[in-house]
Structures are given as C-alpha cells and as structure tokens.
C-alpha cells in the first residue's frame, strides 16, 4: 500500500531535532558519494494569472541508499516579485482552488521501486531549511552562543529560530522585519512557543548588533545583511544566496555552503517577466564569488573542513540551494513513523504502478 499523508501528519511525525539528526546522518553518506542528489531544476513560463506573475515548475530529487529510499519534490507555483520596503521579494501566490499552494513529495523504495508515500512539501520544506541552517550553527557558531539576531518574521524565520535553539542554548532573540505588526506578532508567538525571550526591534541593526548568531530568514532577493554589521565572534546565516551582501561573505574568516551548485537549472520561456534574472538579484547574486572553494556542510560534518577554530572568528553559512536529498532523508523518518503509528491513508499501490513497459 502507498501512504498518503497530510501536512498535519508530517508536523506530528517530524520534530526539528529529528530532522537535524536525519540530515546530519545522511549528509555523511552524501559527502563520500554513497548518497546522491540532483541539482534543482526550474522551468519558468508566463501565466494567465497576471502580467506580473510567472509560472514555475520546480523539481529536485535525491537517493539515500543506506535508508532504502529516493524522493522527488515537485512544486507548481505562481510567483510574483513585489517590492516591500527597501527590498524586492519573492512571493508565492496561493492560486490553486481554495486559495492553496501546490507542492508534493513522492517517496520511493530503492528495493523494488514502489511508491511508499505521497505528502505535501510545505511543513517539511519549513523544517528542512531550518534544520540545514541549524547544522550550520552547530558546526560554525561559538559553543557559548546565546544571543540571536533574526531578520524576518515569516514561516522561514520561525524554523530558523527553533533550529538554532535545538543546537545552542539560546536565551535572547531580537527580531526585525519591515512590517511592524507582523514582527510583533511573531515575537509574541515564538516567545510563548519556545520560552525564549523573543522581542521585536525597530531596525535591522538593532537585531544583529552584539548578537552571537545573526540569521536571515526572509523572502528577499536583495541583500538584507551587510558587511558593516559583522562583529568578531559572530556567526552569520542565510537561507538563500542574495540575503548576505558579497562584501560581507568575503569579510568572514570562514564560509561554508550547502552545495557547490550556485543556482538551479533555469529554463525560462520567452515572455516570462522573470525579475530574479536581473543583475545581482536572486540567483545572479554574489556571482563574483567562487563557491567551489568553500566547504559544504556535509564536508564539515565528516571533518573535511573546519567550521570554527577560534571564538573571535566570524563565520558564515550560506544555505544557497536546496537539495532533493533532504526530502529523501527526512521523508524516510516520516514514513517509518507513519507506519509504526498507523498514520495516513492507505491507497492501493496498483494505482501508481503499471503493467505497460514505460
């Protein structure tokens, strides 16, 4: 039988510490070639939704032989790039019927090829991005880091906070985002959820000044963290390449990346208003940097690189591109626990297999 799970199921089955542990273990195989992942692929086309929007069909996949699974994550998106405050943003529109988004993870068995599970990508997407940056904190931030500056108050920022708190004893979080109402609501909610002193501040500099860890968790395709804000001993973290200006990356004593791939495989149809192709925006950000010279987080985990040697070093982790491998690694945990707990809806595997040679 093939399991169909919901986002609520995934949230109940996978905690942040679970995901950090699953990725850390699986990355060891990835670093030595026992696990494999394919570069993300984006097909961009015009859409009838609006002249300012684009349609994006995104896919990424990976295989973890040690866990006996492979996964593919697929998104069918309507995307806009509005300017909010001083930065341009990447905003997905819930344009599907019922004001919903479309993203799926398909989990397969490497033993016989069968589809094991199908579930939405939303909750896992949030957790796996946070977990990846949490590993950056674990291997690069000072051991005594306790004060965090957070830029962003959306769903990405939430899991950045919980991931950092999973690997360090975070006692204080100062958060900034351009919309004051959202920032204050986020601070209140996260303080109640985590028991940490989380408070909204007026300016981004107020969030990161004196912070042990400065984390970016936004949807900006422009820089939101700058070289002048860096301080000795600080760990700087981003969930996408554009968030940290190139001069700040160059000023760090140690830099690590998620992957040496610097952008998805982009295929753009004629007439698509793809603003992320603009000079120094989105995937074109930091093109002057040689990302191949930086160790990956997987290499730090197996000791092939060094995240930090001295407390006064400034370190930087760039979660520059997601990997389908993450969905396979975390998906195996979700599937195993779903089977153990009897969670999800079982559908006949025959519905997803065929007798005709493909």
Confidence check: pLDDT of 32 > 80: yes
Task: Specify the pLDDT at position 88.
Answer: 82
Q: Are 252 and 279 in contact (CB under 8 A)?
A: no
CB-count burial class (<10 Å; 0-12, 13-18, 19+) for 300: buried
Which alpha helices (H) appear in 146-302, and where do they start and end?
155-167, 180-194, 204-208, 246-251, 297-301
Q: Are 187 and 200 in contact (CB under 8 A)?
A: yes
Give the pLDDT confidence of 114-152 residue by residue, as tens digits.
999 999 999 999 999 999 999 999 999 999 999 999 999
Q: Where along the chain do its domains lie?
A: 2-124+323-352, 133-263+276-318
Q: Are 9 and 122 in contact (CB under 8 A)?
A: no
Neighbours of 201 (CB within 10 A): 18
Whether CATH 3.40.640.10 fits 2-124+323-352: no
Superfamily of domain 133-263+276-318 in the CATH hierarchy: NAD(P)-binding Rossmann-like Domain (3.40.50.720)
Give the pLDDT confidence of 234-270 residue by residue, as tens digits.
999 999 989 999 999 999 999 999 999 988 999 999 9
Q: Does the predicted TM-score (pTM) go above 0.75?
A: yes
SS (H, E, C) 100-131: ECCEEEEEEECCCCCEEEEEECHHHHHHHHHH
Read off the pLDDT band of 281 (50, 70, 90): low
Task: Specify the pLDDT at position 289.
Answer: 87
Task: Specify the pLDDT at position 262.
Answer: 87
The reply to whether domains 2-124+323-352 and 133-263+276-318 share a CATH topology is no
Give the pLDDT confidence of 97-113 residue by residue, as tens digits.
999 999 999 999 999 99
How big is the CA angle at 322 (ends 206 and 36), to the nearest 5 degrees? 145
Mean pLDDT of the chain: 95
Read off the pLDDT band of 221 (50, 70, 90): confident
CA dist., res. 221 & res. 275, Å (int): 10
Q: Are 3 and 338 in contact (CB under 8 A)?
A: yes
29 CB contacts (<8 Å, ≥6 apart)?
Answer: 35, 64, 65, 66
CB-count burial class (<10 Å; 0-12, 13-18, 19+) for 57: middle
pLDDT (mean) for 282-294: 81
């Amino acid at each position: 039988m093939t399991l169909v799970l919901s986002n609520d199921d995934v949230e109940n089955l996978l905690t942040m510490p679970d995901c950090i542990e699953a990725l850390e273990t699986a990355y060891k195989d990835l670093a030595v070639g026992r696990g494999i992942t394919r570069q993300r692929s984006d097909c961009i086309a015009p859409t009838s939704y609006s002249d300012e929007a684009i349609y994006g069909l995104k896919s990424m996949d990976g295989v973890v032989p040690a866990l006996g699974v492979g996964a593919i994550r697929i998104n069918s998106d309507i995307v806009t790039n509005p300017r909010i405050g001083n930065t341009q943003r990447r905003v997905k529109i819930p344009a599907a019927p019922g004001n919903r988004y479309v993203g799926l993870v398909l989990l397969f068995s490497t033993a016989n090829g069968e589809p094991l599970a199908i579930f939405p990508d939303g909750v896992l997407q949030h957790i796996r991005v946070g977990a990846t940056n949490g590993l950056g904190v674990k291997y690069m931030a000072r051991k005594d880091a306790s004060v965090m500056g957070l830029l962003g108050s959306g769903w990405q920022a939430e899991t950045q906070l919980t991931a950092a708190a999973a690997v360090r004893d975070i006692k204080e979080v100062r958060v900034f985002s351009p919309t004051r109402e959202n920032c204050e609501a986020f601070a209140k909610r996260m303080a109640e959820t985590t028991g940490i002193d989380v408070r909204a501040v007026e300016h981004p500099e107020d969030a990161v000044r004196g912070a042990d860890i400065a984390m970016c968790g936004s949807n900006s395709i422009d820089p939101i963290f700058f070289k002048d804000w860096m301080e000795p001993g600080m760990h700087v973290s981003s969930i996408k390449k554009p968030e940290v200006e190139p001069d700040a990356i160059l000023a760090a004593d140690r830099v690590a990346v998620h992957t040496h791939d610097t952008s998805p495989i982009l295929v753009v149809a004629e007439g698509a208003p793809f603003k992320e192709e603009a000079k120094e925006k989105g995937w074109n950000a930091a093109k002057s940097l040689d990302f191949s010279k930086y160790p990956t987080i997987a290499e730090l985990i197996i000791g092939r690189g060094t995240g930090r040697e001295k407390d006064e070093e400034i370190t930087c982790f760039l979660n520059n591109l997601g990997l389908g491998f993450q969905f396979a690694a975390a998906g195996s945990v979700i599937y195993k626990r779903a089977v153990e707990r009897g969670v999800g809806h079982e559908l006949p595997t025959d519905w997803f297999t065929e007798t005709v040679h493909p």
